[in-house]
């Protein structure tokens, strides 16, 4: 089975199991909510910095069932959105939302011409990690960067290998089995981030800490797993909820999912 067939089969099953639910592609509700709030805050800041601009073009690459765009279009009336999706079954779900402010298209970000035009805001939410070939990930990031208008932003929510290694070190201390990357994922590394400058993107500080999910991952993937008795609830227990509420977020480097923000540089504008 080819890599593309692996991805398409997986997300066909995800579409069938989840439909239009927010849990589609992410069954952890706290992670999903945190990702959405990070994106919302950065878009709010971007729009506030441009009070004279009447509308903004946004692209969600790998938009899934359209959940994120349904949320953003309800929140921001000045957004004109495009969602691009590779899996036909997920695209069909997104189209069924009939969003007035959003257009949904089939596309493959590995192709330079996967979409026409450029956008003020571009988003990927656990998308590039679904490309299972290293070179294709770099190619996709370069293509995505090319679709950001000079002065525009790229909001990246992707998983990284370095914090996964830290998470597994913590699990090893508790004699827990290591967490392997899902078969349909290939996590990014800091090497990918270093390459972003070559693509005209400069990383900026984020309002929500990049490692915001770290405490949650330690609580749910290490602490809860280590203390859970045989027969105890496996996921989303009151124990996990209690400690997540009792402890501050963003402690350590235990969440593979990181929140990152890039801006298209003036160098890129000069080269256009």
Helix, strand or coil for residue 180? coil
Residue holding tokens 């899996």? 87
* Torsional class of 47: left (φ above 0), alpha (ψ -120 to 50), beta (otherwise): alpha
Per-residue pLDDT tens for 159-191?
999 999 999 999 999 999 999 999 999 999 999
Provide the token pair at 9: 């089969």
The pLDDT, as a whole number, for residue 267 is 64
Q: Over range 139-156, report the average pLDDT.
A: 98
Q: Is the pLDDT of residue 272 over 60?
A: no
The pLDDT, as a whole number, for residue 271 is 45
- The domain limits of the chain are 3-161+182-216+254-271
Q: Tell me the chain's radius of gyration from C-alpha atoms.
A: 19
Banded model confidence at residue 1, pLDDT cuts 50, 70, 90: confident
Banded model confidence at residue 265, pLDDT cuts 50, 70, 90: confident
Kindly report the pTM of this predicted structure.
0.95
First to last CA, the chain: 41
Torsions phi, psi for 15 (to 5 deg): -60, -45
Per-residue pLDDT tens for 93-103?
999 999 999 99
CA 59 – CA 75 distance, rounded (Å) = 16
Fold of 3-161+182-216+254-271: Rossmann fold (3.40.50)
Helix, strand or coil for residue 248? coil
- Are the C-beta atoms of residues 60 and 68 closer than 8 Å to each other? yes
């Amino acid at each position: 089975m080819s890599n593309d067939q692996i991805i398409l089969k997986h997300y066909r099953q995800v579409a069938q199991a989840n439909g239009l639910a927010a849990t589609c592609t992410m069954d952890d509700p706290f992670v999903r909510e945190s990702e959405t709030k990070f994106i919302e805050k950065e878009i709010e800041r971007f729009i506030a910095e441009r009070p004279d601009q009447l509308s903004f073009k946004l692209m969600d690459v790998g938009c899934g069932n359209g959940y994120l765009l349904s949320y953003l279009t309800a929140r921001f009336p000045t957004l004109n959105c495009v969602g691009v999706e590779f899996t036909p079954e997920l695209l069909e779900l997104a189209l069924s939302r009939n969003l007035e402010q959003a257009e949904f298209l089939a596309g493959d970000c590995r192709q330079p011409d996967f979409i026409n035009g450029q956008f003020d805001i571009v988003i990927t939410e656990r998308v590039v990690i679904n490309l299972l070939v290293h070179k294709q990930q770099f190619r996709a990031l370069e293509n995505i960067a090319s679709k950001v208008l000079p002065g525009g932003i790229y909001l990246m929510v992707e998983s990284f290998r370095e914090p996964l290694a830290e998470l597994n070190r913590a699990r090893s201390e508790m004699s827990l089995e290591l967490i392997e990357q899902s078969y349909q994922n290939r996590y990014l590394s800091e090497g990918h981030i270093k390459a972003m400058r070559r693509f005209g993107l400069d990383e900026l500080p984020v309002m929500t800490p990049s490692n915001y999910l770290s405490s949650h991952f330690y609580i749910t993937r290490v602490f809860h797993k280590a203390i859970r008795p045989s027969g105890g609830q496996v996921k989303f227990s009151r124990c996990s909820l209690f400690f997540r509420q009792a402890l501050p977020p963003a402690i350590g480097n235990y969440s593979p999912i990181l929140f990152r923000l890039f801006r298209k540089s003036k160098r890129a504008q000069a080269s256009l």
